Amino acid sequence: MTTGPGPLVSVIVPNYNYAASLELCLRALQAQTYRPMELIVVDDGSTDDSAGVARRLGVRVIRTEQNQGPAAARNLGAAHAAGEILMFVDSDVAAYPDAAEVAVGLLAADPGLGVVSSIHDPEPLIRDSLVEEYRALQYHYWTVSSEGPVSFLFSALMAMPRRVFDEIGPFNPRLRETEEVDYGHRLTQRYEMLLTTAVRSRHDHDDRLVKLLRKLYRRGRARVPLYARRRRFARGFETSSRAGGSLAALAAVAAVPLVIPFGPAGAGVAGLALAVSLLADLGMYRFVLRRRGPLFLLYFGAVHFLVNVTIAAGVAAGVVRWLCSARFRRLYDPEVTIGISGQAAT
């Protein structure tokens, strides 16, 4: 444990129906080596026993009457927090015992650093399915390969000085899928963000394929107005090569009907697109092969192909919507209304 007085860290846990992992999350936070610390759960209209889980562990709970989304929940927690450092931890994440201590030290060492974000382990917090094991490995590799300064905010476990939050302003509560991308874009106009393996955690990833694909589709679609405005990809995670891999996967699917009229030539086009998609993430496939062997790699590759097609389809749908909807083009306009209504309970 740290010695001597340090700044108060307010740990804010936004939660919506994650009672299954919330106890693991809160126990990990209660076991942190850093002090002083306050712990706040913002129960965002849950219909399960999430609030009861937190109360039984002696954690302060702030409840909303209805679900408002993670951005509004983080804002509400920040409004009730007293700390000089705000640490946001999703309720499906368990931090390593030294996570807060390391994050505070990194922020103290560099006044120009606005956010420190954690990298999740390649093993999921709760092993529920092969889909979850795929997602844990894929997400770990993409984040590890992005380690360092980033412009894409990894909000599942992040720490930031309160003064930075007050300066940048709250998360945009109108955004339910891409609030972290928007916030990272705003924050990096003034500060650096660091993604680091020095701050470690485990994540209870999605364990059902349809749920994962639906989420990735919505996120891909919602990113279009921001990237259209910025005219460049975020630094870290969503690289141009990975975007190309997703587009190539979609092109491979679109080229399959060419086999009927064009025979081998049509099959060659589809095969070439598939090869481009695989080459875009060749390093990740090697990583999975080393960790899990060839049999799991086949499963991993099949799921990742579906993921790539889904992301590209979401982006394509977003482009169409961007062309047709002025309201969609204004999705990231700086018109933020902070919702801090809720009932506090302990």
Taking alpha carbons only, the member of 84, 95, 101 closest to residue 34 is 101
Helix (H, G, I), strand (E, B) or coil at 282: helix
Helix (H, G, I), strand (E, B) or coil at 171: coil
pLDDT score of 157 = 98
Read off the pLDDT of each residue in 106-113 and give the average, rounded to a whole number. Answer: 97
Alpha carbon distance 319, 246 (integer Å): 15
Q: Which domains does the chain have, with CATH numbers?
A: 9-205 (3.90.550.10), 240-330 (no CATH)
Compute φ and ψ for 158, nearest 5 degrees: -145, 150
Read off the pLDDT of each residue in 257-270 and give the average, rounded to a whole number. Answer: 86
Alpha carbon distance 99, 267 (integer Å): 50
Alpha carbon distance 315, 237 (integer Å): 16
Read off the pLDDT of each residue in 115-137 and give the average, rounded to a whole number. Answer: 97
- Establish whether the linkage from the previous residue to 264 is cis, with ω within 30° of 0: no
Do 168 and 193 meet the contact criterion of CB atoms below 8 Å apart?
A: no
Task: Tell me the pLDDT tens digit for each residue of 154-176.
Answer: 999 999 999 999 999 999 998 88
Confidence of residue 237 (pLDDT cuts 50, 70, 90): low
H or E element that contains 304 = helix 282-324
Alpha carbon distance 284, 103 (integer Å): 27
pLDDT score of 340 = 43
Size of the chain in residues: 346
Q: Which two tokens stand for residue 71?
A: 């951005």
Do 309 and 249 meet the contact criterion of CB atoms below 8 Å apart?
A: yes
Burial of 55 (0-12, 13-18, 19+ CB in 10 A): middle
Taking alpha carbons only, the member of 58, 22, 79 closest to residue 342 is 79
Task: Tell me the pLDDT tens digit for each residue of 290-306.
Answer: 999 999 999 999 999 99
Mean pLDDT of the chain: 91
pTM: 0.90
Do 216 and 308 meet the contact criterion of CB atoms below 8 Å apart?
A: no
Confidence of residue 26 (pLDDT cuts 50, 70, 90): very high
DSSP string, 244-281: HHHHHHHHHHHHGGGHHHHTHHHHHHHHHHHHHHHHHT
Alpha carbon distance 102, 117 (integer Å): 11
Alpha carbon distance 234, 181 (integer Å): 8
Residue with tokens 């070439």: 272
- If one compares 237 and 287, the residue with the highest pLDDT of the two is 287
